[in-house]
């Protein structure tokens, strides 16, 4: 059987590109998010995506308006996937939770319940990020450094799985004659006591349909890769090249083997932002428009609207661009053409930025449609892993990454909804299906089925079996 590409659809109602909500016809009203959520979920399921993915951000403020407007006001991920359990039938549903702020017992109960309600389609992305505003919102002191946060996450994942296994699959006898509903020997306490996590159990919800929900971890640090290698089922890592992805896979697989895993380690998934249209030129025009809509310091339209330069992130100034390209740029007009004599002096980083802008927009230094300072600065300010082109061109890039063995799949981040997700499902997915690397029908019923993950044995039963074997051998 041909290995299947993993496709996840990341739901960001206002789009994954900072200016996506400004694109003509794009969804831009958070009060109407439920409607675009339903539409996106149904479109993703019709295209046979493996899952819908919901990130999380536990604080807000006006600074997010320009850095990442989708984070300003968003639906709770667990509520969203609970709702979608009744709106969809086959697609997986992955929510994000921060181990530093989500009560372990409560999260175990919620996720086990959602997995039952969805027929085994739930997954959980566990993150460890620290934000002083999030800590204040939860009435806690700011979380410590990366090491203690990841140490806590290690304990959290292990205890979470033990809680899910509180009830054995056949614990419910349902024997009417003697009046025995359960076998108490098949109901287990957890008694997890560590430096960071303490919980007793048993869980007040039956074992999930999948046994354990797939554990996802998103992070690129060495400590994140260690957690993923040892404990995760899916590792989401942003990488710049196939070579980088192959390096990450090798490291993660080595950590998995060192931890005693025999499954080769987690599935490796990387996020991409595809800009798709019927032709290369049309896709380039969409991306060019998105760059033109990114508010920048020195933008006369922004100034006329009362937006001050201080409102923008620090990377949206000509001064910041000068540092990237390695050339003092002075104070040019944003829409002025970048002269060839200036572009020739760009540093290596500046040349990479220039090449990306030219490839993705079709603009050329000295051409009929020249590269402007605005496009360079906007591309620097919104450094998304964009793939721009026709359906077949985008499919070519995905196939190249997948075919190299560097990744198992992609998290698709549409720059805006609904048109760009519609373009991906209409133009890219059929091409991937034609090439035999994307499914045309769901073969299994659970998220584990979609990801090719076996249903795990109950940890309490396995521990008891090992104890008995050791006692016999002794």
Taking only the tens place, the pLDDT of each residue in 256-282 is: 999 999 999 999 999 999 999 999 999
Q: Which of 242, 230, 273 is nearest to 387 (CA)?
A: 273
Share of the chain above pLDDT 90, in %: 82
The mean pLDDT value for 111-134 works out to 94
Average pLDDT, rounded, for the chain:
93
Q: Which two tokens stand for residue 312?
A: 């923008």
Q: Which two tokens stand for residue 454?
A: 């076996």
3-state helix, strand, coil in the chain (%, to 5): 45, 15, 40
pLDDT at 474 over 50: no
Select the more confidently predicted residue: 339 or 195.
339
pLDDT at 1 over 50: no
What gap in Å lies between CA 168 and CA 457, rounded to an integer? 10
Please tell me the predicted confidence (pLDDT) of residue 250.
Answer: 93
Residue 86, SS3? coil
The mean pLDDT value for 367-396 works out to 93
Q: What is the pTM of this model?
A: 0.95
What gap in Å lies between CA 183 and CA 166, rounded to an integer? 12
Please tell me the predicted confidence (pLDDT) of residue 144.
Answer: 77
348-361 and 280-292 helices, crossing angle to 10°: 120
The mean pLDDT value for 314-339 works out to 93
Residue 88, SS3? coil
Please tell me the predicted confidence (pLDDT) of residue 2.
Answer: 63
Grade residue 472 by pLDDT with cuts at 50, 70 and 90.
low
Maximum distance among all alpha carbons in the chain?
Answer: 91
Count H helices and E strands in the chain, helices first.
Answer: 19, 13
Which whole-number Å values give the CA distances from 18 to 170, 271, 309, in the listed order? 50, 16, 17
CB 340 within 8 A of CB 365: yes
Please tell me the predicted confidence (pLDDT) of residue 462.
Answer: 87
What gap in Å lies between CA 386 and CA 397, rounded to an integer? 11
Please tell me the predicted confidence (pLDDT) of residue 131.
Answer: 84
Domains in the chain and their CATH numbers? 6-144+205-276+387-460 (3.20.20.30), 295-381 (no CATH)
Q: Distance from first CA to last CA of the chain, Å, rounded?
A: 44
Share of the chain above pLDDT 70, in %: 96
Please tell me the predicted confidence (pLDDT) of residue 221.
Answer: 87
Please tell me the predicted confidence (pLDDT) of residue 309.
Answer: 62
Please tell me the predicted confidence (pLDDT) of residue 339.
Answer: 96
pLDDT at 300 over 90: no
Please tell me the predicted confidence (pLDDT) of residue 310.
Answer: 64
């Amino acid at each position: 059987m041909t290995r299947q590409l993993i496709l996840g659809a990341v739901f960001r109602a206002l789009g994954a590109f900072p200016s996506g909500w400004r694109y003509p016809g794009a969804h831009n009203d958070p009060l109407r998010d439920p409607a675009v959520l339903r539409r996106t979920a149904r479109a993703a399921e019709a295209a046979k995506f493996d899952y819908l993915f919901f990130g999380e951000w536990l604080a807000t403020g006006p600074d997010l308006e320009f850095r990442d407007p989708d984070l300003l006001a968003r639906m709770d991920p667990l509520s969203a996937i609970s709702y979608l359990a009744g709106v969809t039938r086959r697609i997986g549903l992955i929510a994000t939770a921060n181990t530093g702020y989500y009560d372990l017992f409560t999260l175990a109960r919620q996720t086990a319940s959602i997995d039952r309600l969805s027929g085994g389609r739930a997954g959980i992305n566990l993150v460890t990020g620290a934000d002083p505003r999030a800590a204040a919102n939860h009435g806690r002191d700011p979380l410590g450094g990366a090491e203690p946060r990841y140490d806590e996450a290690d304990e959290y994942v292990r205890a979470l799985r033990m809680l899910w296994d509180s009830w054995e699959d056949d614990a419910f006898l349902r024997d009417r004659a003697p009046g025995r509903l359960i076998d108490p020997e098949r109901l287990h306490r957890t008694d997890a006591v560590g430096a960071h996590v303490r919980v007793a159990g048993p869980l007040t919800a039956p074992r999930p349909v999948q046994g354990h929900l797939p554990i996802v971890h998103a992070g690129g640090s060495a400590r994140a890769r260690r957690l993923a290698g040892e404990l995760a089922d899916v590792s989401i890592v942003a990488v710049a090249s196939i070579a980088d992805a192959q390096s990450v896979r090798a490291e993660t697989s080595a950590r998995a083997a060192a931890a005693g895993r025999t499954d080769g380690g987690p599935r490796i998934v990387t996020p991409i932002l595809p800009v798709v249209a019927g032709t290369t030129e049309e896709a380039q025009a969409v991306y060019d428009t998105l760059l033109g809509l990114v508010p920048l310091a020195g933008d006369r339209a922004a100034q006329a609207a009362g937006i001050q330069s201080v409102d923008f992130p620090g990377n949206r100034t000509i001064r910041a661009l000068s540092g990237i390209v390695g050339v003092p740029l002075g104070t040019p007009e944003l829409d002025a053409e970048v002269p060839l004599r200036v572009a020739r002096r760009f540093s290596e980083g500046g040349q990479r930025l220039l090449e990306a802008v030219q490839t993705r927009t079709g603009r050329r230094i000295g051409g009929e449609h020249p590269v402007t300072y605005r496009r360079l600065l906007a591309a620097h300010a919104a450094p998304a892993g964009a793939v721009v082109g026709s359906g077949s061109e985008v499919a070519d890039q995905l196939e190249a990454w997948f075919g190299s063995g560097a990744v198992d799949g992609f998290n698709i981040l549409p720059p805006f909804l609904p048109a760009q997700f519609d373009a991906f499902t209409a133009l890219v997915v059929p091409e991937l299906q034609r090439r035999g690397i994307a499914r045309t029908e769901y073969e299994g019923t659970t998220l584990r089925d979609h990801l090719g993950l076996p249903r795990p044995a109950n940890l309490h039963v396995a521990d008891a079996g090992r104890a008995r074997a050791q006692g016999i051998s002794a």
